[in-house]
């Protein structure tokens, strides 16, 4: 089945040690998203790619970077993780952003739970 | 700051009960409202995408309504089953924000007891 895959499912890193989370998709979707969900909070969009166009949300910390080397893969790099960056990180894709009055659903991976020690 | 509120935060029902929960969102500049179901240890999956005021969508025992003028959506589950146990997330998109930016609520966690 076509899907969105995230690796690893659980990641433990040390305070200040760079970490990379990966996401791949077999849906051939133009758009890929990274969300952060902290405990008991709503998922929050960090950034998204429309093809190779990178769109950073205004309040996403500089500590978070992303790469999309091709349509299928997208990476989230956390340069110097702090304790406050412990969260579930969700990757999602969609076919397009919007078309006329239609909004396309997003397809999510199972998430990577990041622990910072 | 655009807020999406979901209530209740959690809900415990018996198998066979019907239930409903609410999503409230800003009524100005509305573009779309999404509902997702997120089962533990699985990926969130889309239930509905709604764009028109008065829209009503149905998928099996689950249905949703949309009122964009007053800024709310209801999700209904008829005859809840244990497999309906999940967190139900709604997400709002407006014209003013960056395209594709879904603003999520915190979700309603539903537990259905056999």
Banded pLDDT at A1 (limits 50, 70, 90): low
CB contacts, 8 Å: B44 with chain A:
90, 92, 108
Instruction: Pick the residue of A94, A103, A110 with the most B CBs within 10 A to test the interface with B by mutation.
Output: A103
d(CA A99, CA B26): 22
Q: Tens digits of per-residue pLDDT, B83-94?
A: 999 999 999 988
DSSP string, A64-107: EEEE-SSSSEEEEEESS--GGG-EEEEEEEES-SEETTEEPPPE
Contacts of residue A58, Cβ cutoff 8 Å, sequence gap at least 6? none
Q: Which residue of A has its CA nearest to B42?
A: A110
CA dist list (Å): A5 to A32, A76, A112? 12, 14, 10
d(CA B64, CA B2): 22
Query: Which has the higher per-residue pLDDT, A85 or A55?
Result: A85
For residue B87 the two structure tokens come to 């967190």
Could B43 and A111 be called an inter-chain contact, meaning their C-beta atoms sit closer than 8 Å? Answer: yes
CA distance A85 to chain B (A): 18
Banded pLDDT at B1 (limits 50, 70, 90): low
DSSP string, B57-72: EEETTEEEEEETTTTE
Burial (0-12, 13-18, 19+ Cβ within 10 Å), B45: middle
Strand B10-14 vs strand B56-59: parallel, antiparallel, or unpaired?
unpaired
CA distance B41 to chain A (A): 7
d(CA A112, CA A115): 10
Banded pLDDT at A95 (limits 50, 70, 90): confident
For residue A49, pLDDT beyond 90: yes
pLDDT score of A4: 97
- CA A92 from centre of chain: 7
CA dist list (Å): A58 to A83, B28, B77, B96? 21, 21, 37, 14
d(CA A82, CA A84): 5
Contacts of residue B24, Cβ cutoff 8 Å, sequence gap at least 6? B4, B5, B6, B7, B71, B72
Could B4 and A107 be called an inter-chain contact, meaning their C-beta atoms sit closer than 8 Å? Answer: no
A35 within 8 A of A44, measured Cβ to Cβ: yes
Q: Which of B31, B98, B102 sits opposite A106 (nearest CB)?
A: B102
Q: Kindly report which listed range (A53-62, A81-90, A107-116, B97-106) carries the lowest average pLDDT score.
A: B97-106
Banded pLDDT at A98 (limits 50, 70, 90): low
DSSP string, A18-43: -EEEEEEESS--SEEEEEEE-TTS--
A56-82: average pLDDT: 95
Q: Which of A4, A45, A109 sits opposite B102 (nearest CB)?
A: A45
Q: Tens digits of per-residue pLDDT, B26-47?
A: 988 888 999 999 999 999 999 9
Instruction: Pick the residue of A106, A109, A110 with the most B CBs within 10 A to test the interface with B by mutation.
Output: A106
Query: Which region, left, alpha or beta, applies to residue B61 given φ > 0 means left and ψ of -120 to 50 means alpha?
Result: alpha
pLDDT score of B49: 94
Share of chain B above pLDDT 90, in %: 84
């Amino acid at each position: 089945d076509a899907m969105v895959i995230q690796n690893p499912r659980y990641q433990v890193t040390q305070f200040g040690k760079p970490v990379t989370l990966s996401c791949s998709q077999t849906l051939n979707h133009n758009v890929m998203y990274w969300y952060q969900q902290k405990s008991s909070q709503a998922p929050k969009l960090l950034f998204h790619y429309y093809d190779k166009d990178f769109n950073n949300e205004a309040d996403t910390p500089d500590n978070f970077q992303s790469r999309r080397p091709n349509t299928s893969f997208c990476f989230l790099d956390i340069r110097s993780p702090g304790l406050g960056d412990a969260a579930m990180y969700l990757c999602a894709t969609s076919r397009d952003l919007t078309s006329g009055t239609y909004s396309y659903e997003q397809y999510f991976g199972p998430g990577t739970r990041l622990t910072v020690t | 700051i655009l807020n999406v509120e979901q209530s209740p935060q959690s809900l415990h029902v018996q198998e066979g009960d019907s239930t409903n929960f609410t999503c409230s969102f800003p009524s100005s500049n509305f573009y779309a409202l999404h509902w997702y179901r997120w089962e533990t240890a699985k990926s969130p999956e889309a239930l509905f995408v709604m764009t028109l005021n008065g829209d009503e969508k149905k998928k099996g025992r689950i249905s949703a309504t949309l009122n964009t003028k007053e800024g709310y959506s209801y999700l209904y589950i008829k005859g809840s089953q244990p497999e309906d146990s999940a967190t139900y997330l709604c997400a709002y998109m407006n014209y003013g924000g960056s395209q594709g930016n879904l603003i999520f609520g915190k979700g309603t966690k539903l537990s259905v007891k056999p």
